[in-house]
Structure 1
């Protein structure tokens, strides 16, 4: 009798994530479709964030979970704002997006602490958006594929500097096209 190991949640998660990144990079899907597909996938997985980060995989999942929700609700808020209607919904979704961005930054810090800030680089990135200029920075986990995070958080920036992983000056983002594409 043959036994087969079923796919674990992290295998499924990382395969889907890589597949969507490839589809976006190839131009098969737009940034909006990329964000919507990520949101749908996280909802389908129905796995809440992990309370304890004791592996890269758990930390990456938590970051992605909160990042997906933050971007999705921010996108909904922008769509409502453009329509010129339903200011209450705009405020609600904008607040939801901001809440999840904060949770994403907390998840980032948990992962960085787990990794003891080893082989981590962070720096401000060049952006087309005036709103994000001198605010958005990139955090790269050098030992892992596709482990590129972004934040505007001042408190997280302070910690990155204290840990000696923040490089002053601006660089082009490793995913510049994605960062600068509007949705």
Structure 2
């Protein structure tokens, strides 16, 4: 008789995430669809971010949770602006997106501290956006597949430099085909 290990919440999360990454890379879904499908899935899972980051999985889940919500609200704000809807709705969605970006950065910092900045490499990345030029940096968690984070946080940047894992200069993102596509 064969025994099958029951898929835990992290298995479900990572399998779904990997599936969406493959679909995006194959051109089957757009960046906005990727974002929406991630948000929908996390809502269906009904798992809120973890207060304590004591594993890589919890840290990545929190990062993804906040990052996808931030992108979702920013995307919605841009749609409101494009549709020439009332300014207060645009600003409300934009503020919500910024709020989630701040929470994403807090989660990033907690994850980096949990990992003790070991096997981490970070650098500024080439971006098409003038607004992000010289501000957006990539954090590659080299011990983990598909664990590439991004931030603009000066606090995180200062800590990466203090830990000696930030490489000065500008490099092409490991996921350039995602980072430099508008949604």
TM-score, with length taken from structure 2: 0.97
Partner of 1:110: 110
Specify every segment of 5 or more residues in structure 2 that has no aligned partner in the other structure, as ranges: none
State the secondary structure of the residue aligned to 1:118. coil
Q: 1:33 matched to which residue of 2?
A: 33
Deviation at 1:3, TM superposition (A): 5.5
Partner of 1:91: 91
1:59-78 → structure 2 map (5 Å cutoff)? 59-78=59-78
What does the per-residue CA deviation read over 1:44-84, in whole Å, with 9 as the maximum and x for residues that have no partner? 11100011111100101010010011000010011111111
SS of residue matched to 2:135: coil
Alignment of 1:21-170 (within 5 A): 21-170=21-170
Q: CA deviation at 1:5?
A: 3.3
- Cα distance in structure 1, aligned partners of 2:180 and 2:2: 49
CA distance in 2, matches of 1:42, 1:112: 23
Structure 1 residue runs of 4+, over 6 Å off? none
SS in 1 for 2:71: helix
Gaps of 5+ in 1: none
Report the aligned-residue RMSD.
Answer: 1.1
| TM-score (normalizing by structure 1) | 0.97
Counterparts of 1:131 and 1:156 in 2: how far apart (Å)? Answer: 19
> How many residue pairs align between the two structures?
183
For 1:42 and 1:152, locate their aligned partners in 2 and report how far apart those are by CA, in whole Å. Answer: 24
CA deviation after TM superposition for structure 1 residue 154, in Å: 1.3
